[in-house]
């Protein structure tokens, strides 16, 4: 006898702004209700209420300095935010129980802060314990609110599902162990006809110690759950109409991009795009799971659908460039000297020194003469990086094999993305010409090996003008 096909399964993730108020959470409930008919199996991944994670971590930071004077104020604010939703959306017969659970978690926050204050420091492990409380409170609101709306639900702490390493504050999942635990935890809830409401952002080590996946990691949580079950689709609900051609705060006529390839999306989020979280792309790609970015506050908008690759034969000249984005607050660090010519290992030593400072490098260029290496780092890290390089090359600086190691003033990385870059000649020239007409100096330029992005370095003062000039080539 043939086995019954598995019901369609959808993972939907809602961010803090989507659940931050009673009205916003009601809209989430409406979206879930409307989607239920098409998706027999639904898993909801939810973030902390808007502003709560910052409130929690600020409390821990103050406690680490020995100050708990503002702790009662933070505790009261947490109580007000969560009670407002409980009083509005949770049925009266379950409201007292929900409030009791929320109060217990708020008390845990107070206890952790007092412990941190006594120790005089907040370890990464302690900060993860504090930060996890926001998601643990939000699921305790949304699950009963869904049940009260006729959508039976049960909350799930992701420490029961997502197994990670011990890199507190930026943990990485063990996908094999996570698949086993997620299926064992989530499938029984689905089979009972309920909607699992899972905490985003958090996981646990194999021995059960709470970890977090990095700030804004709830997108990653949804992708992990969607990949390991596996689901058919993952929808990331945010507060904009999908992925935009540019930051709408800079470009008023920025519009939604209906489709992006995974390669385009990877480049875009790496170079400053807001959604989805960069780590959320790989799990769904490897699992063959669909991904869509939607707007909680405009649920009828189709948003942006991510696809594996551009359909065969699709060559629309208007889609050569799809988006432009900017990473601000960068500085260019240059290592230069005539003695570098032909000397092996200079690049390795350079980036070994950078790595020793724990700094990420989003862009690298090297002169063909091999007399200089130039790369960008966050402005806040530039002085430490230069000092580390000067130490690493102290002998070469004395011998003048390296003439100098220096950093520019603040710059921005402006990146334009589009699959059409790989097959359309002259695009880089058009981009440079658009900036040249506005007298915008290009300090450095790099094209990724994927050939779907071009990155330009411009002065901080020219950032908005550069973004506008390139966007004019898109729309």
Find tokens 């007292």 and name the residue: 96
Calpha distance 248→268 (Å, rounded): 15
Question: Within this chain, do residues 234 and 328 fall inside the same structural domain, yes or no?
Answer: no
- Residue 317 maps to a domain: no
327 shares a domain with 200: no
One-character DSSP codes across 303-334: -EEEESSPPTT---GGGS--EEEEEEEEEEEE
Identify whether 281 is part of a domain.
Answer: no
337 with 401: CB under 8 angstroms? yes
> Alpha-carbon distance 202 to 131, whole Å?
9
Residue at which a domain ends, from 238, 261, 284: 238
What is residue 121's predicted lDDT score, i.e. its pLDDT? Answer: 92
- Asked if residue 3 is part of any domain, the answer here is no
Q: What is the CATH number of the domain that holds 365?
A: 3.30.2130.10
Asked whether residue 85 falls in the same domain as residue 230, the answer is yes
Pair (227, 374) in one structural domain: no
Within 10 A of 232 (CB to CB), how many other CB atoms are there?
17
Largest alpha-carbon pair distance within the chain?
A: 80
* Boundaries of domain holding 466: 323-471
pLDDT of the residue at 400? 85
**Cβ neighbours of residue 97 closer than 8 Å, sequence gap 6 or more:** none
The answer to whether residue 292 is domain-embedded is no
Domain-embedded: residue 438: yes
Q: Considering its fold, how many domains does the chain have in total?
A: 2
Residue 111 structure tokens: 């206890």
Instruction: Name the domain boundary from 191, 209, 238.
Output: 238
Is residue 45 within 8 Å of residue 231, measured between CB atoms? Answer: no
Are residues 19 and 152 located together in one domain of the fold? yes
* Helix or strand (DSSP H, E) at 180: helix 175-191
Domain match, 193 and 329 both = no
Q: Please give the structure tokens belonging to residue 189.
A: 């809830």
**Per-residue pLDDT in tens (0 to 9) along the chain, 475 residues:** 444 556 799 999 999 989 999 999 999 999 999 999 899 999 999 999 999 999 999 999 999 999 999 999 999 999 999 999 999 999 999 999 999 999 999 999 999 999 999 999 999 999 999 999 999 999 999 999 999 999 999 999 999 999 999 999 999 999 999 999 999 999 999 999 999 999 999 999 999 999 999 877 899 999 999 999 999 999 999 888 888 888 888 888 889 989 888 888 877 776 655 567 778 888 998 898 999 999 988 999 999 998 876 554 444 444 688 889 899 999 999 998 877 776 678 888 999 999 999 998 988 887 655 588 899 999 999 999 999 999 999 988 998 888 999 999 999 999 888 877 766 777 888 888 999 999 999 998 887 655 788 889 999 999 999 999 999 988 6
> Is 248 a member of any domain?
no
Note the pLDDT of residue 449: 56
Nearest by Cα to 276 from 34, 47, 56, 58: 47
Give the domain-ending residue among 209, 238, 267: 238
Pair (81, 216) in one structural domain? yes
Indicate whether 383 and 234 sit together in one domain: no
Distance CA 297, CA 291 (A): 19
Residue 430: inside a domain, yes or no? yes
| The pLDDT of residue 314 | 47
177 — phi, psi (to 5°)? -65, -35
User: Would residue 174 count as lying in a domain?
Assistant: yes
Output the domain CATH number for residue 134: 3.40.1160.10
Structure tokens at 432: 């440079």
């Amino acid at each position: 006898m043939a086995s019954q096909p598995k019901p369609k399964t959808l993972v939907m993730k809602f961010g803090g702004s989507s659940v931050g108020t009673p009205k916003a959470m009601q809209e989430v409930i409406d979206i879930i209700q409307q989607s239920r008919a098409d998706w027999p199996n639904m898993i909801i991944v939810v973030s902390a209420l808007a502003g709560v994670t910052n409130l929690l971590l600020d409390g821990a930071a103050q406690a680490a300095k020995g100050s708990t004077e503002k702790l009662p104020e933070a505790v009261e604010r947490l109580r007000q935010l969560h009670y407002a939703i409980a009083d509005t959306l949770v049925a009266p017969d379950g409201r007292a129980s929900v409030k009791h659970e929320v109060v217990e978690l708020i008390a845990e926050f107070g206890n952790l802060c007092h412990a941190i204050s006594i120790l005089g420091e907040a370890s990464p492990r302690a900060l993860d314990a504090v930060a996890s409380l926001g998601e643990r409170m939000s699921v305790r609101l949304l699950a009963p609110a869904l049940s009260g709306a006729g959508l039976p639900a049960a909350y799930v702490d992701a420490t029961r599902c997502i197994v990670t390493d011990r890199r507190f504050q930026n943990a990485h999942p063990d996908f094999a162990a996570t698949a086993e635990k997620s299926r064992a935890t989530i499938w029984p809830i689905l089979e009972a006809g309920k909607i699992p409401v899972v905490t985003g952002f958090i996981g646990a080590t194999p021995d059960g110690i709470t970890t977090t996946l990095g700030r804004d990691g709830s997108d990653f949580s949804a992708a992990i759950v969607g990949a390991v079950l596996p689901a058919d689709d993952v929808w990331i609900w945010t507060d904009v109409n999908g992925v935009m051609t540019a930051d709408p705060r800079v470009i008023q006529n920025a519009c939604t991009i209906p489709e992006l390839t995974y390669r385009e999306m990877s480049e875009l989020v790496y170079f400053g795009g807001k959604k989805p979280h960069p780590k959320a792309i790989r799990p769904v790609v490897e699992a063959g799971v669909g991904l869509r970015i939607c707007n909680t506050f405009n649920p009828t908008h189709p948003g942006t659908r991510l696809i594996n690759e551009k359909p065969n034969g699709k060559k629309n000249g208007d889609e050569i460039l799809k988006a432009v984005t900017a990473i601000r607050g960068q500085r260019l660090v240059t290592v230069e000297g005539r003695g570098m010519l032909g000397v092996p290992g200079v690049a390795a030593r350079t980036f070994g020194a950078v790595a020793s400072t724990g700094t990420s490098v989003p862009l690298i260029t090297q002169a063909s003469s091999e007399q200089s290496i130039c790369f960008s780092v966050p402005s806040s890290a530039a002085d430490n990086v230069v000092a580390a390089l000067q130490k690493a090359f102290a002998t070469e600086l004395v011998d003048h094999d390296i003439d100098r190691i220096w950093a520019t003033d603040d710059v921005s990385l402006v990146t334009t993305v589009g699959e059409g870059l790989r097959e359309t000649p002259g695009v880089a020239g058009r981009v440079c010409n658009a900036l040249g007409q506005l007298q915008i100096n290009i300090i450095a330029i790099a094209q990724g090996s994927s050939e779907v992005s071009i990155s330009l370095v411009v002065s901080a003062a020219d950032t908005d003008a550069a973004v506008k000039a390139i966007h004019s080539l898109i729309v």
